[in-house]
Structure 1
Amino acid sequence: MLLPPDKAHFVPAETPLLLLDGAPVHDALPPLHAPDAQLPLCPGWSVAPMGTMCLLDGPGDAGCLIPAVGGAIAEPAAALEALGIWREAVERAGGAAVVSLPALPADPNTLDWSAVLTDGTARGGFVPALNP
């Protein structure tokens, strides 16, 4: 499945974050419950950041392809640079934290992370990177 680029947020950090908004794989990801902020592993899932897109691959037919250009970032060069920074963070960390929510607030920076990790609506966890 193809996830529209405006439904994904690539957040570089020590543990990079892939934040998904209403993704078609939401129900296929394991429920996320991490009251101590320790993300569980997502068994059978992998993430592969590439030059212009990201592949989130799950067990069976679950998975999605996320283009990096378009959507929330109108400038293609800025989008590609942001994905490159995120890709490097994924390589350093050996994977990414994937958090899927049924719907994100208009400003994802306003998320109440303590609620996200405990209220039962989020799905995901740490997803290892595919070896290049």
Structure 2
Amino acid sequence: MLLTPEKTLFVRGSTPVLLLADVPIHDVLPVLNAPDGAVPRCEGWSIVSKLTLCVVDGPGEAGLVVPAVGAAVLDGEGGISRPGDMADWCADTEQAGGAVVLSLDQLPEVLDWARLLGSGSARGGFVPSLA
């Protein structure tokens, strides 16, 4: 399934994050509750991040294709990054060996990691890169 870029936020960092809103794979991802910040691995899932698109592949038919060109990329503090930072997000993902994928009802206006990771309404976890 092709996802519209308006339903995504790419967040840079030593462990990059892909935030998804109102996506059809929400119920397939595991419920996430990591108030201590230790995000569990999403077994059976993989991610491929490229400059033009990002593929999140799950078990069976579950998965998404996210257009990455022109996508919103934030720095780890929630500030808007510069154009071209998608290449840096991809490099972060490669270096980390994957990314944290979080599915939410809606994208947050403010990145409050404690709230996002401990809410019990988010789904997802660490998704390893496909080698």
TM-score bin, normalised by smaller chain: 0.7 to 0.9
Q: CA RMSD in A?
A: 1.8
**Alignment partner, residue 45 of structure 1:** 45
Per-residue deviation, 1:70: 4.9
Q: Which residue of 1 aligns with 2:79?
A: none
- Distance apart, 1:16 and its partner CA: 0.5
Any conservation in 2 of the 1:45–1:58 contact (CA below 8 Å)?
Answer: yes
Residues 130 and 12 from structure 1, CA distance in 2 versus in 1: closer, same or farther, beyond 3 angstroms? same
Indicate whether 1:14 and 2:14 are aligned: yes
Displacement after TM superposition at 1:113 (Å): 2.3
Residues 66-118 of structure 1, C-alpha deviations (whole Å, 9 max, x = no match): 00135658xxx92xx2221100000000000111101123x2xx133222222
Q: Is the 8 Å Cα contact of residues 57 and 64 (structure 1) preserved in structure 2?
A: yes
- Larger helix percent: 1
Q: Which residue of 2 aligns with 1:103?
A: 106
Count of matched residue positions in the alignment of Structure 1 and Structure 2: 123
Q: Is the partner of 1:18 in helix, strand or coil?
A: strand
Cα distance in 2 for partners of 1:120, 1:23 equals 17
1:61 aligned partner: 61
Cα distance in structure 1, aligned partners of 2:51 and 2:6: 17
Q: Is the 8 A contact 2:10 2:71 kept in 1?
A: no
- What is the CA–CA distance in structure 2 between the aligned matches of 1:72 and 1:116, rounded to whole Å? 19
2: CA distance between counterparts of 1:57 and 1:3?
A: 13
TM-score (norm 1): 0.85
Q: Which runs of 5+ in 2 are unaligned?
A: 74-81
TM-score, normalised via structure 2 length: 0.86
Unaligned runs of 5+ in 1: none
Counterpart position of 1:23: 23
Q: Which amino acid aligns with 1:86?
A: W
1:8-59 Cα distance to aligned partner (Å, 9 max, x none): 1111100011111112211111100112110000000000001300000000
